[in-house]
Amino acid sequence: VEALCCQARTLNLSTRYLDETILRYAERLTATFDIGLSMAVFCCSGTEANELALRIAKACTGGQGIIVTDFCYHGNSSTIAGLSTAYPGPEGSSANVRSFSPPDLYRLRTGVNAENAADAYAQDVQAALDSFAAEGIRPAAIIVDTLFSVEGLPQLPAGFLEKAVAQVRAAGGIFVADEVQPGFGRTGEAMWGYQLYDLVPDLVTLGKPMGNGHPLAGVVGRPELIGAFGGKANYFNTFGGNPVSCAVGLAVLDVIADEGLVENAQQVGKYMKESLAQLATRHDVIGDVKGCGLFLGVELVKDRTSKAPAPEVTRAVLNGMRERGVLVAATGRRDVVLKIRPPMPFSFEHADLLLATLDETLRAL
Ligand SMILES: Cc1ncc(COP(=O)(O)O)c(C=O)c1O
């Protein structure tokens, strides 16, 4: 708030005018990424960031085909709604989109086990590429949320995403990592969700926590891609990258570092995940505990053998928690994964309150 007020009192501009705040922010931000991801473009929402990333992907590959998961959300514009399979809009989905089911070690399809899951499910991505080829559509990109947040935080078999991305790259497409939910240290393991994998994306899209409530979003990526697009497209965004937003972005990076928020996410997240596993020993309705850092999922089932989803129980738990003063949501295709994604300064005391409230709510059912 202090950074925002100070810059707002001093000067605000669109990026048609030069101001060094954007340079300071771009340098600080890109320094948190792997080498090679050294250029940034700023905008105002995750939707805009994904729009821009896909425009860059299409311009640089010459392709039109986009691969997504079959239960994803990437934003609300016409193009992005057309590929957001979790909440299809009235316009329907775009013809240039193919989707695949991400694997979840808790719920593998028949005939697949933990050992062969990465290969088996990567074949679905290959099938999407084959379907593009059959229709003469060149692939432009695969775009995924690196924690598969909307998909319900599935636990992926090691190597799956790496294989899927390698196939897309071999076919001429690029990898766009949507970090709108997982980014800025939430996993507790690293600053970016993609760093959980042996993989560096070509483009990364950012939003939500980037301005800690202020509308700030962006694309970070390989300069040769963003540069080539810039040469063709003359991208302009009136509010994106303005000095006030960049001052906010800088302050967010300062707070994350100064308050040790990534370490906090790691420590409190680990404690919560272990405690939720403990809770599962007392409540049969808990089928699986997933996620990492301060982004955890608790999957509720009618019985552990059949793993039949328990949506009514999930609703009752969400409402029971709310009545007791703790807000959690549900995520995933079956709407039975409790989505525990608290603010980044969440402490051990907060975790204990959440755990005690969940225990009490489950006991009361
Ligand atoms: C993974 C993901 N990508 C993109 C978006 C779109 O962001 P925004 O609402 O800022 O446009 C969202 C929003 O919920 C999201 O969850």
Q: What is the pLDDT of residues 96-115, one digit of tens each?
A: 999 999 999 999 999 999 99
Q: For ligand 1, say whether the CB of 46 is within 6 Å of any of its atoms.
A: yes
- What pLDDT is attached to residue 88? 87
Query: What band does 281 get if pLDDT is binned at 50, 70 and 90?
Result: very high
Distance from the CA of 284 to the center of ligand 1, in angstroms? 33
89 pLDDT higher than 90: no
Say what the pLDDT of residue 247 is. Answer: 98
- Ligand 1 atom closest to the Cα of residue 215 is 10
Q: Ligand 1: distance of its center to the CA of 87 in Å?
A: 12
Q: Rounded to the nearest whole angstrom, what is the distance from the C-alpha of residue 74 to the centroid of ligand 1?
A: 5
- Rounded to the nearest angstrom, the distance between the alpha carbon of 45 and the centre of ligand 1 is 7
Whether 300 and 285 have beta carbons less than 8 Å apart is answered as: yes
**Which atom of ligand 1 is least distant from the CA of 47?**
11
For the cut 90, the answer to whether the pLDDT of residue 93 exceeds it is no
At what angle are helices 223-233 and 46-61 packed, to 10 degrees?
90
Question: What pLDDT is recorded for position 154?
Answer: 98
Whole-number pLDDT of residue 34: 97
CA torsion through residues 283, 286, 288, 293, sign: negative
Return the best residue to mutate from 48, 54, 71, 73 for the ligand 1 pocket (most ligand atoms within 8 A of CB).
73
The finding on whether 178 has its CB within 6 A of some atom of ligand 1 is yes
Amino acid present at 18: L
Residue 204 has pLDDT above 90, yes or no: yes
State whether the beta carbon of 45 lies less than 6 angstroms from ligand 1.
yes
Judged against a pLDDT cut of 90, whether residue 217 lies above it is answered with yes
| Share of residues in the chain with pLDDT > 70 (%) | 100
129-179: per-residue pLDDT in tens? Answer: 999 999 999 999 999 999 999 999 999 999 999 999 999 999 999 999 999
Q: Are 77 and 51 in contact (CB under 8 A)?
A: yes
The residue whose CB lies within 8 Å of the most ligand 1 atoms, and thus the one to mutate among 180, 204, 214, is: 180
Q: Is the CB of 146 under 6 A from ligand 1?
A: no
Average pLDDT in the chain: 97
pLDDT value of residue 118: 98
Q: Is the pTM of this model over 0.85?
A: yes
Average pLDDT value for residue range 309-320:
98
pLDDT class for 91, splitting at 50, 70, 90? confident
What average pLDDT score do residues 219-228 get? 98
